[in-house]
Copies of this chain bind each other. A is one copy, B any other.
Amino acid sequence: MASAETPRTATLTDVARLAGVSIATASKAINGRAQVRAETRTRVLEAAEQLSFAPNAVARGLLQGRTGTVGLLTSDLEGRFSIPVLMGAEDAFGAGQVSVFLCDARGDAIREQHHIRALLSRRVEGLIVVGSRTDPRPPLTGDLPVPVVYAYAPSENPADISITANNVEAGGLAIDHLLACGRRRIAHVTGDASYQAAQDRSSGAQQAMRDAGLELVGGRTFFGSWSEGWGRGVASMILDQYPDVDGFFCGSDQIARGVLDSLRESGRDVPRDISVIGFDNWAVLTTNTRPQLTSVDMNLEQVGRIAARRLFEAIEGRAASGIEELPCRIVTRESSIPVP
């Protein structure tokens, strides 16, 4: 009855037996330790190859206390900002020897707690917490036995390690780009004022305008919602009230798309009459608008990669704490090409 069992995956003992050595020697041979004669080593390696032996990382982890795993805790997988961060982190770890546990808390603190327990019982060596907004989030509760890095959404505790995008600087970059296109009467249209990102970009933009001796159109930032509809509406309002506007800095590509639609419908030529720059550099939007949309890219994969690197350093004991803000970059497309 008990025949035809699945051929149990080979263990080091099997390899050692086949090669005619002890398991100690086999281990040393496979791991490139020194005290093995070359001839013995090849014999062991051949045996391992023949049995398609794969060392049991679980057993190894148990022994030396290092599992080579980390936890990636996201608050909501559907948020499109989490994904690139997550990709960057996965990439950075995968290139090393580290495997990544993925957990989605779905914005639920209970579930988050549950996942943390599970991860700790699996003896992950560290945790990356990926948020979906740049608003600071409460740090994980209980002092954990492993280092934690917060990515995209920084921790409220400034002593924690947090990696995020520099939205203030990005606001300045966007304005500088419009200024470089020869624009002077620039409006800033963005989303929900309760988002830290909206505030930061706004203050960066205002500072950049002041530095140039200018002021935003209307003397203010137009906060609203992160939607095309808001972009459409506010753009037509601005065209109406400030007909000499010649540049739009939009807080998201969705808003920018609405703005572009509005501008086209009112007969304005982008980029001849007006330059438009969006935010997020979301391909599906930037490359499908007419004209294609210049946008600010937050380098989110880079945020993920740096977060992974910082976690790695923290695991190795060389921890640098605090919030690290990474620079954004402008991706230029048709909507902001200077036309003489």
Contacts and interface: CB of A to CB of B under 8 A. Distances in A.
Contacts of A72: 102
Given A102-B101, A118-B99, A145-B9, A123 B57 contact: yes
B104 A101 contact: no
Count of identical protomers in the assembly: 2
Interface stretch (A84-92, A129-137, A159-167, A197-205): A84-92
Interface string A102-132: 1110000001000101111111000000000
Contacts of A97: 118
Nearest to A102: B102
A121 B62 contact: no
A121 B229 contact: no
Instruction: Indicate the size class of the contact surface on chain A.
Output: 35 or more
Nearest to A118: B99
Contacts of A219: none
Contacts of A285: 284
A288 B254 contact: yes
Interface of A: 6-7, 9, 52, 54-59, 61-62, 67, 69, 72, 77-78, 83-84, 86-87, 90-91, 94, 97, 99-104, 111, 115, 117-123, 142, 145, 227-229, 254, 257-258, 284-285, 288
